[in-house]
Each structure stands twice: as C-alpha cells, then as structure tokens.
Copies of this chain bind each other. A is one copy, B any other.
Amino acid sequence: MDKINIKRLAEELNLSTSTISRALQDSYQIGAETKQRVLDLAKKLNYVPNPHASSLGSRKSHMIAVVIPEVFDSYFAQAINGIESVTQEKGYHVLIYMTHEQFAKEQAILNTFHSGRVDGVILSVSAETKDMTHIQTLHEQQVPVVLFDRVGEALATSKVTTDNREGGYAATKHLLERGCRNIAFLSISRDLSIGRWRLEGHHKALRDYDLPINEHYIIDCTESDEVNGKLIKAFLRKHPEVDGLIATVEKLTISAYQACSELHLRIPEEVKVISFSNSRSAPWLNPSLTTITQPAFEMGKAAATMLCKALKHKNPASVVESVILPSQLIVRQSTGVAI
C-alpha cells in the first residue's frame, strides 16, 4: 500500500499540498466545503499526520498548554475539566504544566513555548509572579495567552476572573455578622491582583463596620503546607484575640484546622473559619466548612473558548476579551450560627 501523505491527498483531490495542509489544520484561509472534502478523504485513506513535519511546515502543534500553580486543588481540577470540555471537541491536546507557585519555573515553562511547542496558553500565574514581561512577550509573539483566576491586570491578553473584591467583602461581612471582630486574612500573595482585590474587599467590609484595619492580621503564607501550619499556629498563639480566619486558597483550610486543633481552639466557638474553596470535602469536614465557591468549570470553559476563538484568527494576539463570573457564599458550621 502506498504511504498516505499530504502529497497523495493533494493528487487525489487535485489541490495543492499547501491547501491540503491548511485544510487539515483548520485554517481560516480555506473554505468550509474544501476542508470537508479534505477531511473526508483523509479519514477514508486513514491518513496519520507526522506531528513534527506538519508542525515545521505550518507552525501549528495542535497543542494547548495549561499552566497552573498546582494540580491538587479542587478549583484547578474543575477548571481543567472545563477547559477539556472545549478543547476535546476542537481537536486540541491539552498539556498541563505546574509552576509550584514559583516565578522562575513559570518563566522557564513559558520560554519553551516560543519555538512553536504549543499554539496557545491558558495560564493562572504563580504566587511569586510580579513581573509579567514573560507573559506579554509570549503573547506578542503570536502565541496567544488567556489568563484565568490569577491574572495580570496590566496585560493586554484575554482574561477570565471572578468578582474577587465582592468575594473578599462577602467573606468578611459574613464573619462580622457572626460576631467576629478580630479577623485574620491568610494571604497567598499580595502582589497578584486576585490577592489584592480580595484584601481590598476585606478592608472595605471592615471600614463599613467602622472597624480598624490591622496590618498584623495579614499572614503571608507559602507553598509548603508544613510551613503554613507553623505560621498560622505561631500567629494564633501570639494573637489570642483573633476570632475569625479567612483562607484565600483551599489548601490553607487544612493547615488552619490543624493549627486550631493543636492549640485546642474550638471551631467555630473560639475561632470561625471561612475559605475560598471548591472542595467536595467541605460539607464533611469537622466542622463543615463555610466557603466562597467559584464557578471553576465555567471559568475553564470560558478561557478555552476564548483561546480557540483567538487561534482561528490571523492575528491571535489581537483578539482580547474579558469576563468576570460571580462566586457564591455557602454557609456551613465553621462560621457558627446566626447571632
């Protein structure tokens, strides 16, 4: 049997090899009818593309990179499912990369994308990231980037976020309504806009209740669960007046529960806890956890939809959209009963 390659397909259909190649890559330059003819024949003859050769010619890899701080977080797990729900249908491979909250790792990962390894990137930036030049540079070099959840505000890329200021406000207001007056804020980054907006919402709620803003009540947490446990424990020991904790990322919840347990502080009687979390365990923790929950699946879906749309465009970096989805307060036992 003859080898089925692009040349053979071109001969059979009486088209040029470059037309075949572009049709197979779903290029905007080829009409829908021609595309269908090419795809039908490719399927009939069982054509398998050589990924490296076709990438060299077309500068398309049919791969999308999803770059996230860590894989074990319900929010990111659900967001990946949302992304895959779109990319599968559009015929893209999804490659998942983790930065482990490290700026240097994020930079190194993005640098490998310049040479055509992936067609586009969906990124949630690391806690350490302040300088966003590596993202802007990649985006401008026609590898479009869509940011989600943790974004760089100044960047001219597409973005999907939640109403973080409202989330920070709602979490604080809820604790205040449950009687808390000394609330600590467990932060993962003050540089990221997501952290700043949540903190700003927190401060606004305190001001609305005529309460002072105490800088000492902001705890800068790290990537390490062990270190975070120790930080929270040391803080609670030093500040016995603290009666409320806001965990801005899911993983801080278990560290907070552990610290309270070790100090024999009862939740919610002595300390009330609320967390930004998408965890299925939240209702089954002891006590069950009050959460601010983000529409993770929908956010992933929105980001992937934006990226696929940009990739069809002649100048992908020029396609810039922004969407903000609402989060939700779900009240459970960790913040006590209404007073």
Contact = CB atoms under 8 A, between A and B. Distances in A.
Interface in A255-270: 257-258
Interface string A37-81: 000000000001111110110000000000000111010011010
Contacts of A254: 280-281, 284
Contacts of A191: none
A50 B114 CA distance: 10
Contact of A281 (B48, B117, B285): B285
Contacts of A52: 52, 55-56, 115-116
A124 to B, nearest CB: 14
Contacts of A286: 284-288
Given A50-B115, A115-B52, A84 B96 contact: no
A241 interface: no
How many copies of the polypeptide does the oligomer hold?
Answer: 2
A288 to B, nearest CB: 7
A74 B279 CA distance: 12
A287 to B, nearest CB: 7
Interface in A92-108: 93-98
A53 B51 contact: no
Contacts of A80: 71, 98
A112 interface: yes
Nearest to A225: B280
Contacts of A288: 286
7 contacts: A51-B112, A53-B56, A70-B77, A93-B97, A254-B280, A284-B285, A286-B287
